[in-house]
Amino acid sequence: MMDITFSGGEIDGTISAPASKSCTHRAIILAALSRGKCVITNPLDSLDTRATADAMITMGASIDWADDRICVGSKEIHAPNRIVDVLNSGTTMRLMTGIAALFDSETTIVGDDSVMKRPMEPLLNALKGCGVRCESNDGKAPIRIRGPVEGNRICIDGSTSSQFISSVLMMSPLVGRPMDIILEGDIVSQPYIDITTDMMERFGIHIIRTDSGFHVEPQSYVPCDYVVPSDFSSAAYPLVAGGLSGRASVKGFDMSDQQGDKKIVDILRMAGCSVDIDGDVITCTHNGRPKACDIDISNVPDLFPIAAVLLCTADGKSKLHGAPQLHFKESDRIESVSDMLNTLGADIRPTDDGCIIEGVEHLRGGWVDHRGDHRLMMAASIASLVSDGPISMKDDHCWDVSYPRFIEHMRSLGMRC
């Protein structure tokens, strides 16, 4: 496998934001569960979202991709007719696990080496408590699930991943009886749960919030045409690029969107970058050396790698904290981000829930191991803008997981690749 090398550049230009990966996943599933015909416009066509579509096809849905839309149809969803391979998509694995618990025949879910290391025990324990038979490799994939769900109460620990809660929420209206979802532990990444409940409402499901979690009556999903919003998580990379070197505009945003990662706008402003919002366009402009920041990332863990890049050359000591769940992403992102940036000349100390960064004036460049993690790879490329030398890494196209046009977009903005 060859390497890909980034040599900085002067950022200047405008791009269209990629579509939300989180919303595309959910829209495909909810459309398939609605037992009708739905059109999903502006979906993200990536390896991860294709994995979710393939999983729903194994359950009886018909899914046709076009340039800017997905046509989803279904009459009756059933247990998968083959093993569900989620590839590198932890989101697919977790959301499919809840759906699979509805069926009284066995579902087997597997994935690549990275996904097979992702923790599933909190979700499996919750389902076991409802009579679902769950087998796994010490709480990890491969997973074998056989329903149905019994009783009217499910207790779920949300301290590792919000996706566990989204999984049982999406399954709950179809159990056939009223369900109380009891949340336990410190809930992480709350905005992603809000995205799930909002999208379920759009597909006809009424959810009641309670003091302990949620109450969901038996209901049917209603077919709905859905437009996928732009993705703040992915747009963070070109916006930070503009903040570090030049100017970048990203169009297609709605600042009233529930995505937690719109916090990137606040983070850039805290770091001293100039950020302007004009209609659906966000523009970030370099305004000198970044300022040190103290940032709670508990609800926006996906911003951790690129926020660390933004602050590694800040003037002073920065702290990113509040997200112990980062240990359980595509890589242990606290460890891997710290190792990656320290290799490039940064001064970062990992903590249990983030890191402490002593800003340096410049990085030195070098070769880094992104561990096949798309967010590390993209963050490392942006780091080349504040490096004295080029940054190289494996050219394995891991960015296709969430941002297939990443290289194309960054080149159009002026990055040398």
Residue 285 domain-assigned?
Answer: yes
Residue 350 domain-assigned?
Answer: yes
Residue 222 domain-assigned?
Answer: no
Residue 381 domain-assigned?
Answer: yes
Query: Residue 415 phi/psi, 5° resolution?
Result: -75, 140
Domain count, the chain: 2
Residue 220 domain-assigned?
Answer: no
Query: Residue 373 phi/psi, 5° resolution?
Result: -95, 115
pLDDT per position as a tens digit, 24-49: 999 999 999 999 999 999 999 999 99
User: Where in 188-313 does DSSP place strands (E)?
Assistant: 207-209, 213-216, 226-227, 246-251, 274-278, 281-285, 294-296
What is the 8-class DSSP label of residue 136? -
Residue with tokens 């009579």: 131
- Alpha-carbon distance 107 to 96, whole Å? 10
Q: Are strands 179-184 and 366-367 parallel, antiparallel or unpaired?
A: unpaired
39 and 10 part of one domain: no
User: Where in 289-353 does DSSP place strands (E)?
Assistant: 294-296, 317-321, 347-351
Checking if the pLDDT of 299 tops 80, the result is yes
pLDDT per position as a tens digit, 249-279: 999 998 888 899 999 999 999 999 999 999 9
Query: Residue 137 phi/psi, 5° resolution?
Result: -95, 80
Domain boundary among 186, 214, 242: 214
Query: For residue 328, what pLDDT is reported?
Result: 73
Residue 258's domain spans which residues? 3-18+231-413
- What is the pTM assigned to this prediction? 0.93
pLDDT per position as a tens digit, 334-343: 999 999 999 9
Residues acting as catalytic residues: 302
307 Cβ contact list (under 8 Å, min separation 6): 236, 240, 264, 267, 295, 297, 320
321 and 386 part of one domain: yes
Residue 115 domain-assigned?
Answer: yes
- Alpha-carbon distance 19 to 384, whole Å? 25
Angle subtended by helix axes 162-171 and 21-33, to nearest 10: 20
- Alpha-carbon distance 284 to 305, whole Å? 18
- The CATH number of the domain holding residue 70 is 3.65.10.10
Residues above pLDDT 90, as percent of the chain: 92
3-class state of residue 397 by DSSP:
coil
